[in-house]
Amino acid sequence: MESVIERIKRGSFSQFHGGIHPPEQKFLTCSKPIASAQIPEQLIIPIRQHIGQAGNVMVKVGDKVLKGQILSDCDSPMSVPIHAPTSGTITAIKSMAIPHPSGLSEACIILTPDGEDTWKQRHICPDFHLLSKTQILEKIANAGISGMGGAGFPTQVKVSTLAKIDYLIINAAECEPYITADDLLLQEHSPTILDGIKILDHLLTPKNILIGIEENKTKAIAALKKATADTDHIDVCVIPTKYPSGGEKQLIQILTGQEVPSGVLPSSLGIVMQNVATCFAIADAVINDTPLIKRVVTVSGQALEKPQNIWALIGTPVGFLTGQCGYNNSQNMHLIMGGPMMGFSLPHDQIPVIKTTNCILAPSEIEIASPFSSTSSKEVECIRCGQCADVCPAQLLPQELLWSAKAKDQAQLAKLNLFDCIECGACAYVCPSQIPLVHYYRVAKAEIRQQKLLDIKAEKAKVRFEARKQRLEREKVARVEKHKKAAEARKARMNTDTSAAKSEKSAVADALARVKAKKAQASIKQNTAEGSLTSTVEMTAEPVDDSKSQVANAIARAKAKKIAQKNQAQIEPLDTLQNNELPSSSQAAPVVIDKKAKVDLAITKEKANENKPQAETISNSPTAQVNTTTKALLIEVVNLASVSDDKATQALNKKVKVAAAIAKAKAKAKTKTAASLAAETSFDRTEPSTTPANIDVMQDSDTENQVKNIEEAKAKNLAIKSQQISNATSSSIKSEQDSMLATQADIVATKKARVAAVVAKAKAKKLADSSNKSTTSE
Ligand code: SF4
Ligand code: SF4
């Protein structure tokens, strides 16, 4: 079977689908030498001139830079650095319009040349064989070389492939009309291009090297054949002229007969393709240590006086180049970057030349009909003629792509393999409806790329959200665990028998008590607020709800009865003590104590005489509870006054105070009976037994020794009684509070209970004052 090389040597090539033969118009520039680069007043250098990410800017405004100095580095394989095309000063770093069909603006470095064109230090390496592959790849990467045929793919990535390469194809087809940059580069610099091909041969070690060039470039073909005459595995393949034979997939098919499937890289088929301009840049970088700072640009069109190819510094405004070629812009005609088939119109002439710029067109009105031209035709509806599909080299369905693009149906565009479109413009060229099909495809591609970016951002945001959620959950679990451990440690500490543990226990108990008190206070406040609207009326003895009043009365009666029984139990021992158990012997006692003891005894006796016959009667009165409690407390207070120098009595004094406070709280907790209590608890001035008349009787009755003994016994009994009263009162209050809450009568009672408490407190104070006065008078 005939091999590919044998077939090529025989001059037989495969054909790709479709294609067109537009007017070449290469005669304008193909026979003129490349003009040397001139330095403009200002260079506009976009940071991103390739497919991939932009590099990091390494200079700042005001920096002086040398020719070839790096301006941005890269930390990603898909990022390519940029360099200063000449020496000068960085005057700005700002967003400016870049060469793109969308007219987008991106960050650009503005360099004002100093005119000296001073190079940075370079290391020339005439023999690249002395370098390792890694060093060569590093030089290519540091030189900022990206595909100069138009794609802008980072070259170091393309030539770093580990795949086994069968064919290294050098693309010299340059099929688009008007463009002759590669043609002239081949004519003038074939040896350097061959050096670049040899470097690629050294890196990729392909089985065959094929240079594809269209048959319309006779001078370039001759130069190439002369340069490659001494090489045995490099074949110059002269192919038929047909647009777009310079497309990557199309040229591969022409030379090797293989079709590259959709979504598959040529390297996976063992094929790598490089442009001739890229080969020149590789040689310049590896051998001359020269970064990619200039390129050949075809400046053509019948609107120019001197169309020609020019060495242009990267960043040169197109207006500067067209000015070199005698462009008269008096008619304000538009410029095109790229060829007439794949190029795009520029918004103004200050758009800079970048690494992928191969042509600037300044067409006359009769050359290219355009929307800006008076001779342009207007777009009409698709007539479904199918001519676009016939010429499509990617075998797509351009009319269906058009409809889906107009409908923004991205799913359908994906099914129609929109991204296989090489934007060759052949479909638009043949369209009888003058539809700018490529424009629609570019917009659709940009929208899909934008949507993909948004999807990626959304996915990243989702990942961040999930990570945050998990982190918060972990922190919550850790916090709970930490608190649990701390609680266990605290519990362990408190269980130890140390003073610190006791102190901590006490602190915890105090804290709990404060919390409870706060809760109770809040509850009372809430109840008070709820009952505020009716409190005024109720305090002025308005009749209250019968059911609530009955409940409150029942509680008050039960309480009064209970306290009366307790009082009775307290008084009986005192009677016994007074009548039967007085000690026979006694010691001399201070006069004050003697008097107080007598007063105490008289009070006790009178109280006993009062309580005994009336206990049953007063227990039914709401006032009985308060009066009885008050009397008992008064007795104890008076007794305490007489034994204040005794330690046990001091303790009792505290307990009595506690009992008084509890009685006050209890009075506050009174509900429905408050009104009646307030009415009935009017102070009974005849009740206290500490009147001067009673004291006189006591003075006449007993001896001082007997009184002292009685006092001691009474102090002891009072201590017991006080404790009993305190306990009974606390229990009573608690049960009452529960009952009150259960009966929901506490709203009105709170106010009334406060009144009762105030009355009780006043009564107690008055009684105490009276007692003191009587004691003093004695
Ligand atoms: S060539 Fe134009 S008119 Fe014809 S089918 Fe294609 S888009 Fe429609
Ligand atoms: S521009 Fe796209 S759709 Fe049109 S012919 Fe070229 S590859 Fe086909």
Which pLDDT does position 673 carry in this prediction? 44
> Are the beta carbons of 68 and 293 closer than 8 angstroms?
yes
CA 131 / ligand 2 centre spacing (Å) = 43
For the chain, the residue count is 778
Return the pLDDT at 308: 96
Q: Which atom of ligand 2 is nearest to the CA of 423?
A: 1
Q: Is the CB of 435 under 6 A from ligand 1?
A: yes
Query: Is the C-beta atom of 335 inside 6 A of ligand 1?
Result: no
Nearest-angstrom CA–CA distance, 148 and 246:
13
What's the confidence (pLDDT) of residue 532?
57
Going from the C-alpha of 730 to that of each of 557, 664, 727, the distances in angstroms are: 17, 11, 5
Please state the atom number of ligand 1 nearest to the C-alpha of residue 427.
Answer: 1
- Ligand with the closest atom to the CA of 387: 1
CA 383 to ligand 1 center in whole angstroms: 6
- Ligand 2 contacts CB of residue 430 (under 6 A): no
Q: Take atom 3 of ligand 2 and give the residue whose Cα is closest.
A: 398
The yes-or-no verdict on residue 547 having pLDDT over 70 is no
Any atom of ligand 2 within 6 Å of the Cβ of 438? yes
pLDDT for residue 364 is more than 80: yes
Q: Give the Cα separation of 400 and 377 in Å (integer).
A: 22
Closest C-alpha residue for ligand 1 atom 1: 431
Token reading at 737: 């509070």
Q: Two tokens at 434?
A: 């003058």
pLDDT score at 218: 94
Mutation choice for ligand 1 from 385, 406, 421, CB with most ligand atoms inside 8 A: 385
Q: According to the model, what pLDDT value does residue 334 have?
A: 82
The string of pLDDT tens digits covering residues 577-620 is 444 443 333 343 343 444 555 555 555 555 555 444 444 443 44
Of 335, 344, 250, 247, which is closest to residue 299 (Cα–Cα)?
Answer: 335
More confident residue, 2 or 604: 2
Ligand (nearest to CA of 401): 2
Ligand 2 atom with the smallest distance to the CA of 395 is: 8
Q: DSSP states of 534-594 as a string?
A: HHHHHHTT----HHHHHHHHHHHHHHHHHHHHHHHHHHHHHHHHHHH---S------HHHH
- Give yes or no for a contact between 47 and 82, defined as CB atoms under 8 angstroms apart: yes
Round to whole Å and give the CA distance between 254 and 258: 8
* 438 C-beta closer than 6 A to ligand 1: no
Q: How close is the Cα of 346 to the center of ligand 2, in Å?
A: 22
Token pair 């001739």 is found at: 276
Among 376-380, 565-569, 669-673, which is the least confidently predicted range?
Answer: 669-673
Does ligand 2 have an atom closer than 6 angstroms to the CB of 421? yes
Strand 64-65 relative to strand 88-97, pairing: antiparallel
Q: How far is CA 509 from CA 42, 257, 500, 502, in A?
A: 82, 93, 14, 10
pLDDT for res 84:
96
Q: How far from the centroid of its chain's Cα atoms is residue 380's Cα?
A: 50
69-95: average pLDDT: 91
Q: Which atom of ligand 1 is nearest to the CA of 402?
A: 7
Confidence (pLDDT) at 5: 86
Q: Do residues 301 and 25 lie in contact, with contact meaning Cβ atoms separated by under 8 Å? A: no
pLDDT in tens, 305-345: 999 999 999 999 999 999 999 987 666 678 999 999 999 88
Q: How confident is the model at residue 70 (pLDDT cuts 50, 70, 90)?
A: very high
pLDDT at 747: 53
Q: Note the pLDDT of residue 526.
A: 81
> What is the best residue among 424, 433, 445 to mutate for testing ligand 2's pocket, by most ligand atoms within 8 Å of CB?
424
Residue recorded with tokens 């009372």: 524
Select the more confidently predicted residue: 652 or 749.
749
Which residues are within 8 A (CB) of 756 and not within 5 positions of it... i.e. 6 or more apart?
A: 626, 667, 668, 670, 674, 677, 678, 681
Q: What residues pair up with 45 in beta bridges, in sequence order?
A: 109
Per DSSP, helices labelled H in 684-745 are 692-699, 704-743
Residue type, 33: P
Q: Which ligand gives the minimal distance to the CA of 403? A: 1
Q: Give, using CA atoms, the residue closest to atom 4 of ligand 1.
A: 385
Q: Tell me the C-alpha distance between 416 and 448, whole Å.
A: 14
C-alpha of residue 357 to centroid of ligand 2, in Å? 21
Q: What is the pLDDT of residues 431-454, one digit of tens each?
A: 999 999 999 999 999 899 889 989
pLDDT at 685: 38
Q: Which helix (H) or strand (E) holds 91?
A: strand 88-97
Chain segment 631-676, per-residue pLDDT in tens = 444 444 444 444 444 444 455 556 656 666 676 666 566 544 444 4
Would you state the pLDDT for residue 494?
Answer: 80
**Which pLDDT score, from 0 to 100, does residue 390 have?**
97
pLDDT score of 722? 52
pTM: 0.62
Type of residue at 124: I
The CB of 433 under 6 Å from ligand 1? The reply is: yes
- pLDDT at position 153: 86
Residue with tokens 């610099």: 189
Tokens for 271? 């094929």
Give the mutation target among 344, 401, 422, 442 for probing the ligand 2 site: most ligand atoms within 8 A of CB. 422
Tell which one of 387, 397, 401, 429 to mutate to probe ligand 1, the residue whose CB is within 8 A of the most ligand atoms: 387
Is residue 595 within 8 A of residue 534, CB to CB? The reply is no
Q: Tell me the CA distances in angstroms from 263 to 249, 267, 404, 418, 667, one per residue in order.
A: 12, 12, 20, 11, 91
Contact of 272 with 251, CB cutoff 8 Å:
no
User: Does 424 contact ligand 2 (Cβ within 6 A)?
Assistant: yes
Residue closest via CA to ligand 2's atom 8 equals 392
pLDDT tens sequence across 12-28? 999 999 999 999 999 99
386 lines ligand 1 (CB under 6 A): yes
- What's the Cα-to-Cα distance from 744 to each of 49, 531, 551, 605, 749, rounded to whole Å? 83, 12, 10, 42, 10
Q: Which residues pair with 360 in a beta bridge?
A: 299, 337
Could you tell which of 16, 438, 439 is best to mutate to test the pocket of ligand 2, judged by most ligand atoms within 8 Å of the CB?
Answer: 438
What is the pLDDT confidence band of residue 727, given thresholds at 50, 70 and 90? low
Cα separation, 494 vs 500, whole angstroms: 8
CB 488 within 8 A of CB 482: no
For residue 147, report the phi and psi dihedrals to the nearest 5 degrees.
-50, 120
More confident residue, 208 or 618: 208
CA distance linking residue 531 with residue 121, whole number of Å: 94
pLDDT at 377: 63
- Among 168-177, 324-333, 533-542, 761-770, where is mean pLDDT lowest? 533-542
546: amino acid identity, one letter: D
State if residue 402 touches ligand 2 by the CB under 6 angstroms criterion.
Answer: no
Whether 626 contacts 717, CB under 8 Å: no
Quick one: pLDDT band at residue 209, thresholds 50, 70, 90? Answer: very high
Q: Kindly give the distance from the C-alpha atom of residue 25 to the centroid of ligand 2, in angstroms, as a whole number.
A: 22
Quote the pLDDT of residue 555.
81
Provide the b/e sequence for 506-541 (b: ≥16 CB within 10 Å).
eeeeeeeeeeeeeeeeeebeebeeebeeebeebbee
| Cis, peptide link before residue 40, omega less than 30° from 0 | no
| Closest ligand to the CA of 432 | 1
Is there a contact between 398 and 386 (Cβ–Cβ < 8 Å)?
no
Q: CA 7 to CA 28: how far, in whole Å?
A: 34
Other beta carbons within 10 angstroms of residue 770's beta carbon come to 16
pLDDT score recorded for residue 374 = 41
- For atom 5 of ligand 2, the residue with the nearest CA is 392
What pairs with residue 275 in β-bridges?
Answer: 171
Report how far ligand 2's centroid is from the alpha carbon of 435 (Å): 13
From 622, 621, 633, 617, select the one nearest 567 (Cα to Cα): 633
Instruction: Give the strand pairing for 208-214 and 234-239.
Output: parallel
Count of beta carbons in the 10 Å neighbourhood of residue 15: 13
- In the predicted structure, residue 404 carries a pLDDT above the cut 50: yes
**CA 311 – CA 38 distance, rounded (Å):** 8
Note the Cα 300 to chain centre separation in Å: 53
Helix axes 591-618, 704-743, angle to 10 degrees: 40
**Max Cα-Cα span within the chain:** 158
Ligand 1 close to Cβ of residue 282 (< 6 A): no
Separation CA 588–CA 479 (nearest Å): 71
User: For residues 567 and 673, which has the higher predicted lDDT (pLDDT)?
Assistant: 567
Q: Is the CB of 560 under 6 A from ligand 2?
A: no
Report the range of poorest mean pLDDT among 97-101, 271-275, 751-755: 751-755
401 lines ligand 1 (CB under 6 A): no
Q: What is the rounded distance in angstroms from the CA atom of residue 164 to the CA atom of residue 305?
A: 50
Orientation angle between helical segments 276-288 and 181-204, nearest 10 degrees? 60
Cβ contacts of residue 431 below 8 Å, gap of 6+?
387, 388, 437
Residue nearest to atom 2 of ligand 1 (CA): 431
Q: What is the pLDDT of residue 629?
A: 46
Residue nearest atom 7 of ligand 1, based on CA coordinates: 399
Q: What is the pLDDT of residue 28?
A: 93
3-state helix, strand and coil shares in percent for the chain, rounded to the nearest 5: 55, 10, 35
Q: Tell how far the Cα of 163 is from the centroid of ligand 2, in angstroms.
A: 30
Give every CB contact of residue 592 below 8 A, 6+ residues apart in sequence. Answer: 642, 775
For residue 417, how far is its CA from the centre of ligand 2 (angstroms)?
11
Q: What tokens appear for 568 in the block?
A: 């009775």
Ligand 1 atom nearest the C-alpha of 389 is 6
Provide the percentage of residues in the chain whose pLDDT is more than 70. Answer: 70
The pLDDT mean for the chain works out to 79
Position 121 scores a pLDDT of: 92
Runs of H (alpha helix) within 331-409: 387-391, 398-407
User: What atom of ligand 1 comes closest to residue 430's alpha carbon?
Assistant: 1
Residue 442 to residue 449: CA distance in whole angstroms: 11
Report percent pLDDT > 90 for the chain. 49
pLDDT at residue 627 tops 80:
no
pLDDT grade, residue 362 (50/70/90)? very high
Residue nearest to atom 7 of ligand 2 (CA): 421
What's the CA gap between 151 and 167, in Å, rounded?
Answer: 20
- Centre of ligand 2 from the C-alpha of residue 156, in Å: 29
CB atoms near residue 332 (< 10 Å): 6
Taking the centre of ligand 2 as the mean of its atom positions, its distance from the CA of residue 342, in whole angstroms, is 10
Give the confidence band of 365 by pLDDT, cuts at 50, 70, 90.
Answer: confident
Q: How many CB atoms lie within 10 A of CB 401?
A: 24
